[in-house]
C-alpha cells in the first residue's frame, strides 16, 4: 500500500511538472516555499538541468536554498552551481554549515571546487580546517557550529549565550571547557534550565563525557552515538581541546552510506548502490564483473569436480538427480552463516573467530543430520536402494557442515588475500568498519562445492559395493 508521504509527494511532483512545462515561475515559487528542503532536493531529481535551475533559482531565501543544496545529489548540486550566477550562489554557499559545505566541496570536480574556494576565500576558515581531515573520520564529518562555554560561566549567562546562538546553531548540549579550551564536561539543556541561575557550569556539568578523536573512524562514532543514545558527541584533538561536534543528523547519513556500501558488496557490486542507480550500463557492468568473474571461476571448479567423477556418475546416473539439491542447500546455508557472522563483526558482538566457528560447527551437524536423514530417506525410496540413500544423506550432511565452516572462515581468508585489495580494509577486532565481503553469488559457489566433492566420494564408495 502506498504511504501517505508517497501519495503527497506524487501529487506535488505532478503539479510542479505542470508548472515547469508552462513556465509559471510565480506558481513554482509558491509550491516550493511550502515544502521542506529535503523534499525539494528529492523533487529536483525528476527534472533536467534547465528545469532544476528554474525551480532552484526561484528560491529567495539563501538559507532555504543552502539546505536544498546540501540535501541534493552530487550531479544536481554540480549542475545548479554551474548554472547559478555568482550573486545568487555565493550567499547560498555562505549560508551552508561548515560540515555540509565541506561534504559538498569534496564531491565536486576539481575545477568547480577551486573556483568556489577562490570566491569564498575569506569565509572558509572552518571549511579549510575540516578539509584537512579524512572524509570518513570524525574530523571529516564534524561541525564547528556548537556552543562551548568556560567552566566559570554562570547558568544565567549560559542561558543567554544559548538563546543568542539558537538561530544559527542547533543546540543539544552546552560543552564546558577550561581556560585553554580543553573539554571538561557537558551540560544538557534540561540540566541548564533546572539549575540555579547563579551556579557556575562546573557544578552542574557531567564530567564523564563520551568523546572521540579527530581521526576516529566514522563507523565507530556512529556506534558510540547509537549505543549511548546521545544527540551529539564532541570531537577533541590529542591535547583534549574541543574542535568540533558530530551531530545525530550526520550519524544518520553515515549509517545510510555504510549500509548502502555494505549491501552493494553483499549483492555483488564493487561500488555503493546509490552511485549505480542512475549510472550508465558500462559503469554498472564494470562494478559487477569482478564478482561475476569470481563466481565463474567457482563454477568452473565445480565443473572440474563433476568431470573427475564422470565414471562414477555414468555408473550411478540416478544419483545426479540430487546434485542440484545438495549444492543449493550448501550454498544457502553458507550465505546464512556468513551473513550472521559479518553482522556480529560489524556490531562488535563477535571478537574472536573460534567461538562462532565451534557454534556453527554444531549447528551444521544438527542441520546436516536432519536434512541428511530427510534426503537419505527420499533417495532410498526413490532409487530403491538403502545404500544409495545413505550416500546421498552423507553428502548432504557434509555439505551443510562444511558450508557452515566456510561461511565463517571465508571472511578471514578474504581479509588476508592479496587478490582482492578492497577486502584488506577489514579488521577483526573493534572498532572496525563493517567488512566488505564477497557477494552471495561467490559465497554460494564456495560453500556448495565441498558438498559436491563429498557426494561423488560417497558414490565412489557405493560403486565398490
What's the confidence (pLDDT) of residue 285? 74
- Phi/psi for 244 (5° steps) reads 180, 180
Query: What is the pTM for the complete model shown?
Result: 0.63
How many Å from the N-terminal Cα to the C-terminal Cα in the chain? Answer: 60
* SS3 call for 48: coil
Q: At what angle do helices 440-464 and 386-416 cross, to 10 degrees?
A: 140
* SS3 call for 233: strand
What's the confidence (pLDDT) of residue 152? 93
Residue 342 burial (CB < 10 Å; 0-12/13-18/19+)?
A: buried
- Phi/psi for 385 (5° steps) reads -145, 120
Contact 130, 245 (CB under 8 A): no
Using CA atoms in the order 304, 309, 313, 319, what is the torsion angle rounded to 10 degrees?
-80
Name the strand (E) or helix (H) holding 242.
Answer: strand 242-247
- Phi/psi for 314 (5° steps) reads -65, -40
What domains does the chain contain, in order, with CATH numbers? 4-132 (1.25.60.10), 147-247 (3.10.580.10), 274-464 (1.10.357.20)
What's the confidence (pLDDT) of residue 462? 37
Half-sphere exposure of 290 (CA within 13 A, CB side): 18
Q: What is d(CA 27, CA 56) in angstroms, rounded to the nearest whole number?
A: 13
400-459 confidence digits (pLDDT tens):
888 877 776 665 555 444 333 333 333 333 333 334 444 444 444 445 445 554 444 443
Q: If phi over 0 gives left and psi between -120 and 50 gives alpha, with beta otherwise, what is residue 229?
A: left
Instruction: Indicate the length of the chain as a whole number.
Output: 465
pLDDT block averages, 10 residues each, the chain of length 465: 76 90 86 91 90 90 91 88 90 87 86 85 75 86 90 93 78 91 92 92 92 91 88 92 90 79 61 61 74 76 76 73 83 77 66 75 87 89 85 87 74 46 35 41 48 44 35
SS3 of 104-169: HHHHCCHHHHHHHHHHCCCCCHHHHHHHCCCCCEHHHHCECCCEEEECCCEHHHHHHHHHHHCCCC
Residue with cell 571465508: 410
- Phi/psi for 432 (5° steps) reads -135, 155
93-117 confidence digits (pLDDT tens):
988 888 888 888 888 888 888 888 8
Cell of 120: 569564498
Amino acid at each position: 500500500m502506498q504511504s501517505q508521504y508517497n501519495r503527497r509527494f506524487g501529487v506535488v511532483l505532478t503539479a510542479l511538472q505542470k508548472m515547469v512545462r508552462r513556465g509559471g515561475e510565480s506558481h513554482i515559487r509558491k509550491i516550493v516555499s511550502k515544502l521542506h528542503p529535503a523534499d525539494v532536493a528529492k523533487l529536483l531529481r525528476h527534472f533536467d538541468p534547465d528545469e532544476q535551475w528554474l525551480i532552484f533559482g526561484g528560491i529567495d531565501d539563501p538559507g532555504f536554498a543552502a539546505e536544498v543544496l546540501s540535501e541534493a545529489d552530487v550531479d544536481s548540486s554540480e549542475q545548479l552551481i554551474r548554472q547559478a550566477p555568482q550573486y545568487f550562489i555565493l550567499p547560498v554557499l555562505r549560508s551552508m554549515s561548515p560540515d555540509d559545505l565541506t561534504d559538498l566541496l569534496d564531491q565536486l570536480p576539481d575545477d568547480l571546487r577551486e573556483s568556489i574556494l577562490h570566491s569564498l576565500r575569506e569565509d572558509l576558515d572552518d571549511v579549510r580546517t575540516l578539509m584537512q581531515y579524512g572524509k570518513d573520520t570524525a574530523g571529516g564529518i564534524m561541525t564547528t557550529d556548537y556552543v562551548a562555554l568556560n567552566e566559570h560561566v554562570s547558568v544565567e549567562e549560559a542561558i543567554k549565550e544559548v538563546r543568542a546562538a539558537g538561530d544559527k546553531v542547533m543546540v543539544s548540549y552546552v560543552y564546558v571547557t577550561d581556560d585553554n579550551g580543553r573539554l571538561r564536561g557537558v551540560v544538557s539543556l534540561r540540566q541548564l534550565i533546572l539549575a540555579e541561575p547563579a551556579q557556575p557550569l562546573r557544578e552542574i556539568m557531567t564530567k564523564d563525557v563520551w568523546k572521540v578523536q579527530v581521526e576516529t573512524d566514522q563507523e565507530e562514532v556512529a556506534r558510540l552515538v547509537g549505543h549511548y543514545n546521545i544527540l551529539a558527541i564532541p570531537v577533541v584533538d590529542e591535547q583534549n581541546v574541543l574542535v568540533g561536534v558530530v551531530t545525530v543528523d550526520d550519524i544518520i547519513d553515515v549509517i545510510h552510506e555504510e549500509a548502502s556500501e555494505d549491501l552493494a558488496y553483499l549483492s555483488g557490486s564493487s561500488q555503493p548502490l546509490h552511485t549505480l542507480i542512475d549510472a550508465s550500463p558500462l559503469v554498472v557492468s564494470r562494478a559487477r564483473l569482478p564478482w561475476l568473474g569470481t563466481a565463474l571461476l567457482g563454477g568452473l571448479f565445480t565443473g572440474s569436480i563433476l568431470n573427475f567423477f564422470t565414471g562414477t556418475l555414468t555408473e550411478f546416473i540416478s544419483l545426479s538427480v540430487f546434485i542440484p539439491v545438495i549444492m543449493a542447500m550448501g550454498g544457502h546455508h553458507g550465505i546464512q552463516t556468513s551473513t550472521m557472522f559479518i553482522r556480529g563483526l560489524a556490531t562488535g558482538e563477535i571478537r574472536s573467530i573460534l567461538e562462532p566457528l565451534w557454534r556453527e560447527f554444531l549447528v551444521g551437524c544438527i542441520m546436516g543430520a536432519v536434512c541428511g536423514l530427510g534426503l537419505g530417506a527420499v533417495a532410498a525410496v526413490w532409487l530403491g536402494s538403502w545404500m544409495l540413500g545413505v550416500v546421498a544423506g552423507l553428502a548432504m550432511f557434509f555439505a551443510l557442515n562444511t558450508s557452515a565452516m566456510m561461511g565463517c572462515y571465508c571472511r578471514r581468508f578474504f581479509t588476508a588475500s592479496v587478490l582482492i585489495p578492497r577486502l584488506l580494509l577489514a579488521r577483526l577486532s573493534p572498532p572496525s568498519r563493517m567488512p566488505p565481503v564477497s557477494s552471495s553469488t561467490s559465497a554460494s559457489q564456495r560453500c556448495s562445492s565441498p558438498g559436491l566433492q563429498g557426494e561423488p566420494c560417497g558414490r565412489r564408495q557405493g560403486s565398490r559395493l
